[in-house]
Chains A and B, each alone.
Chain A
C-alpha cells in the first residue's frame, strides 16, 4: 500500500535509527513510503500551548500536503507524539466547518486546502488494522521466541481515547501486545506501560522527569523484561538516551534496552540488527541480540559486544 509518510523531526534528528529502520522495514511489508519532506513539525503540543490556531494551521498544511499525494491510501506517522498532536488539531478542524474555512484561508496563500476526514495512522495502527496480524505473522522469518518484550506506548497515542478512536472495536491501546505476540515474542506487562516517560518536563523539572523514566524502566526490570518497545521517539530519548541519568535519580542499575517499533518488527522479519541501527542506542541491546551471530533472544555474551 502507498502511504503519505510523516516521519517527524526526532526520527531524523536524535533518533535517526528510527527513520532508517522504518525505511528498511516498509518494503518487506509492501508499504510504499512517500515522504512528506515539505511538511513542518507538528509542534508536539508545545506550539498549541503557545498558540492553538498556529498549531492547527501548520498541521492543516501537512494534512493538505498528504491529501495531494496521488494514490496514497492514508497518512502514516512513526511517532506517538506526532499522532497525538496531529489528532488534536484534526479534531478541531474536522468538528467545525467555519474554523476549517478560517484555517484554509491562511493555507490558500500557498494554494493548499485541507478537506475534512483525513485518515492518519501511526505505524502501529497501520500494522494491525491495514496489514493485519495474520499477514504480519506470515512474514515473520525469525520469530522472537523467548524474547520478553515490555510495551511502552507514550501518552499521546493512548489518551484521550475518543480523540484517538480507541474503543472496544479498535483497542489501539493494546496493539503493541498484539504485535509482540504476532512476532513470536512474549509480552511483559508492567505498571508503567501506559504512563508518561517524563520527556515533556525534562527542561522544567529534570528530577521528576527522570524519576518517571527510571521508575517505569525499573518496573520493567522487575517484571523480567529483556527489552522495551515504543512507537514514540520522544519516549525513546528519555528511556534510552537519558537512562544513565535516570539510573542516578532512582538509585539503581537499569540496563534496559529500548527498541523502536520498526526495529522490533525488522528483527522478526529477518533484517540484521546493524541495518536497523540497533548499535546506535545508548543502552546496548545485548539482552536482545547476540551480536556475533545475530541471533535474536540469545543470552548476552560475556563481555558484551
Chain B
C-alpha cells in the first residue's frame, strides 16, 4: 500500500474533443493536472474540467467501478476511467501523455460521451433481456438449486459500461452484429433454469446472420471487460448449447463448421483444410462438397485454389487426402474422443467460479500460460 502515500505528480492528458452540433472537426486538447499517481484517470479528467475547461463532456457517477457510466478509451484501449490508475495509464502511454478518447463503435454525442442508446441498449433489447418464466409460475418465489445458478453469475457481473462493445472487432466491420454485451446477457437467460424459452432464444441467435456465429473470436471483449464477464466465453457457450444440446443447424454454417472441424480432427488427427471448407457449407460428410451450397462456394474460390496449386502452395495430394497421424496415435486420439464425448454430461471448468487451487509458481515466470482469474470457456 506504499503507493497510496506517494506525493502528487504532474500528468498530462491528451483529450479528444468533438461536438457534432458545432459542425467542426474533432481535435485534441492537452491539459496538465496534478494528482497522486494512484488516483484515477476519471479524477484527472474532472480536475481538468474543473480547473481549465468546464466544457469537457464526460459521463460519470459512482466513481467506484459499479455504475458503468465512465467507459472511455485510455491510450487506445477501452477502460473505465474510474478504474484506471494514473501511473499505470502513464506507463502504457506512447509518449508519456495519457491519451483519452470516447469509446468506439458508438456515435459521439460530445467529447467523451457516446450514444449508448443508439447502439448498446438497442442490442441489449434485441436479446429479450428478461426472464420468460416457466409455467405455471409459483405463487411465491421460484426455488432453484444454488448449483444451477452459479454458472450465470459471471454474466450477472456485467455493469453495462459498453467497454466490450467499444472495441468489438466484428462490430467494427459489421455494425449489425449483436455483439458481446448483449450476447453475454442472452446467456444469462439461456443458462437460467427458470427460463422457459432456451431453445427459441438459441434458434433466434443462431439463425441471425449477425448472431452468435458472427463473433470473430478475437478476445477483445474478454480483455476489455472490467468485470471479468468474459463475453466471448459466453458466446462460445451459447454456440455449444445451441449445436450440441438443441441440435440447431443454422443457416450461417456455424454448427456445420464446428461439427466438421471436430469430426475431421477425429478422423485425421490433424485439420484437413481442403475438406473443412466444403463441409462447412455443404454438411459434415465426405459428400458435403457435392451439396449445391458447397459447390457455389468452391466455384467462387476456384481462382484462388488454382493459384495456390500453381504456386505449389497447395499440395494436391494433401488437398485431396489430407495429412494423418500415425495409426497408433490416431487410435489414441479417437479413444479420447469416445471417452470424453461418451460422458453423460459435459465437464466444464470455469475458472471465474472455481479460481485457482494453487498459488502461481515464482519459479516459472516464462511459462506461457500464467493463470489468471478471467473466465474459461472459449
Give A residues with C-beta under 8 Å from B: 9-10, 12-17, 37-41, 43-54, 56-58, 61, 74, 83-88, 90-92, 94-99, 102, 106-107, 109-110, 116-121, 125, 129, 155-156, 159-165, 168-170, 195-196, 198, 200-201, 203-205, 208-209, 211-212, 215, 241-242, 244-245, 279-282
Contacts and interface: CB of A to CB of B under 8 A. Distances in A.
B122 interface: no
Interface string B59-97: 000000000000000000000000000000001000000
A47 B370 CA distance: 22
12 contacts: A49-B239, A50-B259, A83-B368, A87-B369, A90-B369, A91-B370, A95-B351, A129-B366, A155-B218, A168-B91, A196-B170, A208-B216
Nearest to B368: A120
A241 B341 contact: no
Given A163-B370, A280-B312, A281-B313, A92 B351 contact: yes
Contacts of B307: 244, 282
Interface string B258-284: 110110010001111110110011000
A49 to B, nearest CB: 5
B289 interface: no
Given A40-B325, A200-B216, A106 B368 contact: no
Contacts of B216: 196, 198, 200-201, 208-209, 212
B132 interface: no
Contacts of B341: 51, 54
Given A49-B240, A165-B370, 13 more contacts: A13-B270, A39-B329, A41-B265, A48-B378, A51-B346, A87-B369, A94-B369, A96-B356, A117-B364, A155-B219, A162-B373, A208-B173, A281-B311
Contacts of B144: none
Contacts of A53: 340, 343, 346-348
B370 A162 contact: yes
B371 A38 contact: no
B277 A120 contact: no
B145 interface: no
Contacts of B376: 52, 91-92
A9 B369 contact: no
B243 A204 contact: no
Contact of B357 (A97, A121, A169): A97
Most buried by A among B271, B323, B337: B271
Contacts of A52: 346-349, 376-378
Given A61-B332, A201-B216, A95 B371 contact: yes
B169 interface: yes
Interface of A is mostly: helix
B326 A38 contact: yes
Contacts of B220: 155, 159, 196
B209 A95 contact: no
A204 B253 contact: yes
Interface in B204-224: 209-210, 213-220, 222-223
Nearest to A65: B329
A193 B72 CA distance: 21
B304 A46 contact: no
A10 B276 CA distance: 12
A54 B311 contact: no
Contacts of A38: 325-326, 329
Contact of A241 (B308, B322, B371): B308
Nearest to B300: A245
Nearest to B264: A41
A297 B314 CA distance: 27
A172 to B, nearest CB: 9
B195 to A, nearest CB: 22
A38 B257 CA distance: 25
A37 B239 CA distance: 31
A96 B349 contact: yes
Contacts of A17: 313
A91 B372 contact: yes
Interface in B310-332: 311-315, 318, 322-323, 325-326, 329, 332
B111 interface: no
Contact of A245 (B218, B258, B304, B332): B304
Contact of B340 (A40, A74, A106): A106
Given A52-B377, A96-B357, A159 B240 contact: no
Nearest to A205: B214
A160 B215 CA distance: 16
A40 B326 CA distance: 10
Contact of A109 (B223, B262, B335, B367): B335
A118 to B, nearest CB: 7
